[in-house]
């Protein structure tokens, strides 16, 4: 899971920290994996393909109740794993400071702060305020879908270099004790922000092509991944 998140910081990351202690699985299992994968992950360059939709969080209640936002990160992770969509997470503090303008988003899902002034203004100016995470798919495309559904067992993180018409996707079996996933992953080029056309997929670790079926809009690839597995796919223009 930790390694699969490498692309989330692109293009701003400058390195990775790894915390471990002697005697635990973090040291005996995790660190060797970290060392093995860094040469592959360090070749990833580009940016996270943000879509014009957002999830809004208000910090106002946390000033008087320190546990008011407890569990919020888990809620966000659950939405992200289920939708495989590159939404932006916006806070009321960012809006108040002028760092983010809500009007740039086609739709916003507030997890709290529904009646904040920022949300009221957004609604008054024609913004779409949503009630459920699934409604986000009406306003922005996913970058990946699974058939059958993976049930949130697989985390997929894209990094896109639009100028070079290429992308990377890391796939991690993040959930200990879960069943292996076996099915078909469909990569949606519009969700990655890539132009329609013909693309092929390479295993970034081995350099070997990955067999699949492509159209100008998407790529369909058989996928089998077990808990603890990490795959890195490289999407390149042209036939494989």
- Of 3-12, 130-139, 215-224, the one with minimum mean pLDDT is 3-12
Whether 61 and 85 map to the same domain: the answer is yes
Whether 108 and 178 map to the same domain: the answer is no
Whether 37 and 148 map to the same domain: the answer is yes
Whether 116 and 191 map to the same domain: the answer is no
pLDDT band at 17 (very low <50, low <70, confident <90, very high): low
Give the H or E element holding residue 95. Answer: helix 92-96
3-state helix, strand, coil in the chain (%, to 5): 30, 30, 45
Whether 147 and 43 map to the same domain: the answer is yes
Looking at 109, 138, 167, the residue that finishes a domain is 138
pLDDT given at position 111: 96
pLDDT band at 38 (very low <50, low <70, confident <90, very high): confident
**Mean pLDDT for the chain?**
90
pLDDT band at 30 (very low <50, low <70, confident <90, very high): low
DSSP 93: H
Q: Which residues pair with 199 in a beta bridge?
A: 237
Whether 41 and 153 map to the same domain: the answer is yes
pLDDT band at 84 (very low <50, low <70, confident <90, very high): very high
Residues 6 or more apart in contact with residue 89 via CB below 8 angstroms = 54, 55, 57, 76
Is 60 exceeded by the pLDDT of residue 203? yes
* SS3 annotation, 18-66: CCCCCCCHHHHHHHHHHHHHHHHHCCCCCECCCCCEEEEECCHHHHCCC
Whether 153 and 130 map to the same domain: the answer is no
pLDDT band at 206 (very low <50, low <70, confident <90, very high): very high
Looking at 113, 138, 163, the residue that finishes a domain is 138
Number of domains composing the chain? 2
d(CA 4, CA 6): 6
Whether 40 and 99 map to the same domain: the answer is no
pLDDT given at position 3: 75
CA 66 to chain centre: 28
How big is the CA angle at 27 (ends 21 and 30), to the nearest 5 degrees?
Answer: 130
Q: What is the pTM of this model?
A: 0.88
Closest CA to 167 of 106, 219, 213: 219
Is 70 exceeded by the pLDDT of residue 23? no
pLDDT given at position 49: 94
Percent of the chain with pLDDT strictly greater than 90: 69
Looking at 79, 111, 138, the residue that finishes a domain is 138
pLDDT given at position 188: 98
Percent of the chain with pLDDT strictly greater than 70: 90
Whether 192 and 207 map to the same domain: the answer is yes
d(CA 189, CA 78): 23
Whether 64 and 116 map to the same domain: the answer is yes
Whether 178 and 219 map to the same domain: the answer is yes
pLDDT band at 15 (very low <50, low <70, confident <90, very high): low
| Mean pLDDT for the stretch of residues 190-211 | 96
Residues 6 or more apart in contact with residue 235 via CB below 8 angstroms = 166, 167, 168, 169, 187, 192, 194, 199, 200, 201, 219
Whether 40 and 148 map to the same domain: the answer is yes
Beta strands 107-110 and 128-129 are: parallel
| Mean pLDDT for the stretch of residues 196-211 | 96
Domain range for 98 is 53-138
Is 70 exceeded by the pLDDT of residue 172? yes
CATH of the domain at 215: 2.60.40.1180
d(CA 79, CA 85): 9
């Amino acid at each position: 899971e930790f390694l699969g998140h490498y692309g989330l910081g692109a293009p701003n990351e400058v390195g990775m920290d790894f915390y471990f202690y002697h005697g635990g699985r973090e040291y005996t299992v995790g660190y060797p994996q970290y060392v093995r994968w860094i040469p592959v992950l360090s070749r990833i360059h580009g940016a996270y393909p943000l879509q014009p939709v957002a999830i809004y969080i208000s910090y106002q209640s946390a000033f008087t109740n320190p546990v008011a936002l407890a569990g919020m990160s888990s809620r966000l992770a659950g939405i992200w794993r289920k939708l495989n969509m590159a939404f932006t997470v916006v806070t009321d503090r960012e809006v108040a400071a002028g760092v983010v303008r809500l009007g740039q988003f086609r739709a916003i899902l507030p997890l709290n702060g529904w009646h904040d002034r920022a949300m009221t203004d957004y609604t008054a100016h024609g913004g779409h305020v949503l009630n459920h995470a699934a409604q986000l798919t009406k306003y922005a495309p996913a970058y990946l879908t699974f058939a059958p559904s993976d049930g949130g067992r697989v985390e997929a993180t894209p990094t896109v270099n639009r100028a070079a018409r290429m992308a990377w996707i890391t796939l991690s079996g993040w959930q200990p004790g879960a069943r292996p996933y076996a099915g078909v992953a469909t990569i949606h080029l519009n969700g990655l922000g890539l132009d329609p056309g013909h693309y092929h997929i390479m295993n970034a670790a081995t350099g070997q092509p990955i067999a699949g079926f492509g159209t100008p809009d998407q790529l369909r690839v058989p996928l089998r991944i077990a808990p603890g597995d990490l795959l890195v796919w490289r999407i390149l223009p042209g036939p494989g």
